[in-house]
Amino acid sequence: MRKLTFLFILTLLAFSFATSQAQQVYYILAVKGKIYNQTTKKYLKPRTKISTSDKVIFKDKNAVAILYSRGKGRIKLKLKNKAAASESAIFVKKTLFAQKQGAISRSGVINSLTEFQAHFNKARNGYLILGNKLELKINPEVFAKLGKGQPYIRYKYKGQEINKSLKYKDGTLTIDRDELFKIDGEDIQEELATDLIISYYVYDKKSSIYLAEPETEKHLAFKPVFVAPETLKEEGFVAMGQYLKEEKLSDDDVAQEMAVNLVSLGTPNPSNVRKWYQKNIK
């Protein structure tokens, strides 16, 4: 009898575990269009929750809900087959699309030219910058070994080559959007600036150092991606920051969690994400 009871308990526990695994709960960050939850009899809206076992109806075939869980990350809920009837009820778990994840490693101080190169090469397809400034901690020895000089960014704009010096003070290199995309005091069309590189001009030599590969005279490419505040809101990142704050995570943990999910917009830097979070999420 005891053996049967023990087997029954084991079976019950296994069933409960399987059920809990099958029913993942997500926090809704943002909703575009109308999606009706047939299970709860309510339309999806931000700052509520939804289970993968729920059934939903897409009232708008282009509707999208952005969901999030700390275990699964940021996921989009949308129709896989837009040609299908939008009034059909579909299980949530069958309409989820995982988003890419990844970020620049948690940033400390850059202590060598090799680390400097690796930092920017990680984001060669687009260095995501939240807000208008990127601040990088760089050991003064990195530039001192190159000689007394000036770090700068060069880009092409309407057939001209534009050089913009970068502020480096107290071990911090600052890339300021407002200064970067301004010529003779006038703002320029950011999207027309191409072929951006980061370089370093040595005063004594009156020449620049090729920071990517000095021996092959290859410049270090830089592709900044400045994101508009409204985009961060539409893509659910403001709501994600608010949710993680309510979960009482530390600022560092929030920054890292958000950074690995921001990769759909570009390659983020956790230190930059942390500054944005502290300034914008109250």
Q: How confident is the model over 231-242, as pLDDT tens digits? A: 999 999 999 999
251-261 vs 270-280: helix crossing angle, rounded to 10: 110
User: CB under 8 Å to 14, separation ≥6 — which residues?
Assistant: none
Structure tokens at 61: 């075939």
Based on the number of CB atoms within 10 Å of its own CB, is 240 exposed (0-12), middle (13-18) or buried (19 or more)? buried
Amino acid letter for position 200? Y
The reported pLDDT for the residue numbered 81 is 73
Q: What is the mean pLDDT of the chain?
A: 86
Q: Is the pLDDT of residue 15 over 70?
A: no
Q: How confident is the model over 164-184, as pLDDT tens digits? A: 999 999 999 999 999 999 999
Q: How open is the CA angle 118-137-142, to the nearest 5 degrees?
A: 65
What sign does the dihedral 6-10-12-13 (CA atoms) show? positive
pLDDT band at residue 218 using 50, 70 and 90 as cut-offs: confident
Q: Give me the phi and psi of 269, to 5 degrees please.
A: -110, 115
Q: How confident is the model over 90-131, as pLDDT tens digits? A: 877 776 666 555 555 555 799 999 999 999 988 878 999 999
User: CB under 8 Å to 83, separation ≥6 — which residues?
Assistant: none
pLDDT band at residue 275 using 50, 70 and 90 as cut-offs: very high
pTM of the predicted model, to two decimals?
0.78
